[in-house]
């Protein structure tokens, strides 16, 4: 019997947060029976090349047995192809994978080849109608479920004030607001609508990089905020989310931002500023201990310039794990994925990774995977209907702003 059958992955979905006791127990047993190499593999969320499973991709999946796979525009050709690709990935992995995508809308739209391009968060906020955020969340969630995904790396809850909108950090159109209240209002209805479809969301980029002056794809965005300012502004939406009685936030993505005024560990060591992803003060002390977040912590892409300009992929992966991250996101190069995986295996053998620390992350990954819903039946007609709904939403937003 495969782990997927043992876990009842093909059962009809109920409420997304209705964690069945027997399913939870089965997931724990499945993880406990894994080899060391398979346990380390669960820590990785990887990107793949191409639009189908070729021999190189198959060998990589078998070698790593990753806990998750993230899809990019390079993996998308048609709706049928994408669903087949995700089904093939799922079938090659022993433990049900987290299958994720950055489907925000606007500039970050991985599905624009196969569906009407989705509106940016900024455009919805400018329209001033929470219904637009709710509609986007619902459409996105259902579309992703039909295509085979179970997680979306959204919403962005970074805050972009008028002053910050002048910065070149790549967030200009991706933010839902200029104030904590605005961001919280729009993202809360978006996240609720998304997750009601059975697709899990992920808040990003903790603890907030709206004030960063550069794009993390190029270099470490340095955020010169005091702890008080960060709490009053960028951290405020996270604090509100984590206090919700329904415990709806199950995943948070950690940014590569540098916080020299609050990260007491980092200082300047060897001329290098430590990004939040690699900081125990940010991930463990702030996110987990001070804010009480008990669920999945995922790194931003470890191949960004903010990381690889200062560390090898082996160093960075171990540092990110030591900081408290559960899932290491490596999005592009197979060589980097292999090196990071092999480096973590070696670190475990050298007792740089303890069983206790490894089991902490495996517990959180297992808990998250218990919430994963099986994909909806593939329905090309429904996908076309959803694409048309996106077009209607775009038309409504454009009409409200004179065609802008």
pLDDT at residue number 33: 85
Cβ neighbours of 264 (radius 10 Å): 12
Q: Residue with structure tokens 């669960």?
A: 42
pLDDT tens, position by position, 12-26: 334 555 555 566 667
pLDDT at residue number 399: 56
**CATH (one of 3.20.20.300, 2.60.40.650, 3.40.50.1460, 3.40.50.720) for 38-395:** 3.20.20.300
Q: What is the distance between the alpha carbons of residues 164 and 108, in angstroms, rounded to a whole number?
A: 19
* Rounded average pLDDT over 126-143: 95
* Rounded average pLDDT over 125-136: 93
pLDDT at residue number 24: 62
Cβ neighbours of 364 (radius 10 Å): 18
Most confident of 23-27, 60-64, 128-132, 163-167: 60-64
How would you classify the pairing of strands 108-109 and 103-105?
antiparallel
* Statement: residue 280 has pLDDT above 70: yes
pLDDT at residue number 173: 87
CA 76, 81, 84: angle at the middle one, nearest 5? 120
% of the chain at pLDDT higher than 70: 88
* Statement: residue 390 has pLDDT above 80: yes
pLDDT at residue number 209: 82
HEC assignment per residue over 133-155: HHHHHHHHHHHHHHHCCCEECCC
* Statement: residue 264 has pLDDT above 80: no
* Statement: residue 271 has pLDDT above 60: no
pLDDT tens, position by position, 178-237: 999 999 999 999 999 999 999 999 999 999 988 787 767 777 888 888 888 899 999 999
User: Cβ(198)–Cβ(294) under 8 Å?
Assistant: no
Q: What does the mean pLDDT of the chain come to?
A: 89
109 bridge partner residues: 103
pLDDT at residue number 17: 54
Helix/strand/coil for 126: helix
* Statement: residue 291 has pLDDT above 60: yes
Of 164, 154, 163, the C-alpha closest to 124 is: 154
Question: Confidence class of residue 9 from pLDDT cuts 50, 70 and 90?
Answer: very low
* Statement: residue 37 has pLDDT above 50: yes
* Rounded average pLDDT over 96-109: 97
Tokens of 254: 């950690």
pLDDT at residue number 263: 74
Asked if residue 207 has a cis previous peptide bond (ω within 30° of 0), the answer is yes
Q: Write b or e for each residue in 68-105: b if 16 or more Cβ atoms lie within 10 A of its Cβ, otherwise e.
A: bbbbeeebbeebeebbbbbeebbebbebbbbbbbbbbb
pLDDT at residue number 140: 98
Helix/strand/coil for 12: coil
* Residue ranges of domains in the chain: 38-395
Q: Which of the two residues, 340 and 160, has the higher pLDDT score?
A: 340
């Amino acid at each position: 019997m495969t782990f997927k059958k043992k876990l009842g992955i093909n059962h009809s979905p109920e409420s997304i947060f209705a964690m069945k006791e027997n399913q939870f127990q089965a997931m724990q047993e499945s993880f406990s029976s894994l080899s060391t190499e398979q346990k380390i593999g669960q820590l990785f969320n990887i990107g793949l090349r191409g639009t189908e499973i070729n021999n190189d991709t198959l060998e990589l999946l078998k070698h790593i047995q990753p806990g998750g796979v993230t899809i990019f525009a390079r993996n998308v050709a048609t709706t049928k192809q994408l669903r087949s690709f995700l089904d093939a990935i799922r079938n090659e992995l022993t433990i049900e994978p987290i299958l994720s995508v950055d489907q925000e809308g606007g500039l970050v739209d991985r599905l624009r080849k196969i569906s009407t391009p989705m509106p940016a968060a900024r455009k919805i906020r400018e329209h001033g109608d929470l219904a637009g955020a709710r509609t986007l969340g619902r459409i996105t969630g259902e579309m992703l479920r039909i295509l085979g995904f179970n997680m979306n790396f959204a919403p962005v809850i970074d805050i972009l004030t008028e002053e910050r909108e002048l910065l070149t950090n790549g967030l200009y159109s991706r933010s839902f607001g200029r104030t904590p209240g605005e961001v919280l209002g729009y993202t809360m209805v978006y996240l609720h609508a998304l997750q009601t479809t059975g697709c899990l969301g992920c808040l990003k980029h903790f603890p907030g990089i709206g004030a960063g002056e550069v794009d993390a794809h190029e270099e470490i965005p340095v955020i010169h905020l005091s702890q008080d300012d960060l709490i009053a502004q960028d951290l405020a939406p996270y604090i509100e989310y984590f206090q919700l009685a329904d415990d709806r936030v199950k995943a948070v993505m950690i940014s590569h931002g540098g916080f020299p005024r609050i990260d007491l560990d980092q200082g300047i060591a060897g001329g290098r500023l430590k990004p939040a992803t690699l900081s125990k003060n940010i991930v463990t002390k702030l996110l987990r201990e001070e804010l009480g977040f008990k669920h999945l912590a995922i790194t931003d892409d470890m191949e960004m310039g903010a990381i690889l300009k200062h560390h090898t992929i082996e160093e960075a992966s171990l540092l990110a794990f030591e900081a408290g991250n559960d899932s290491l996101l490596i999005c592009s190069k197979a060589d980097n994925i292999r090196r990071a995986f092999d480096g973590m295996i070696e670190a475990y053998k050298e007792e740089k990774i303890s069983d206790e620390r490894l089991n902490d992350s495996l517990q959180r990954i297992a808990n998250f995977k218990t919430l994963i819903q099986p994909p909806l039946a593939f329905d090309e007609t429904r996908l076309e209907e959803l694409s048309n709904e996106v077009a209607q939403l775009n038309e409504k937003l454009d009409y409200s702003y004179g065609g802008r």
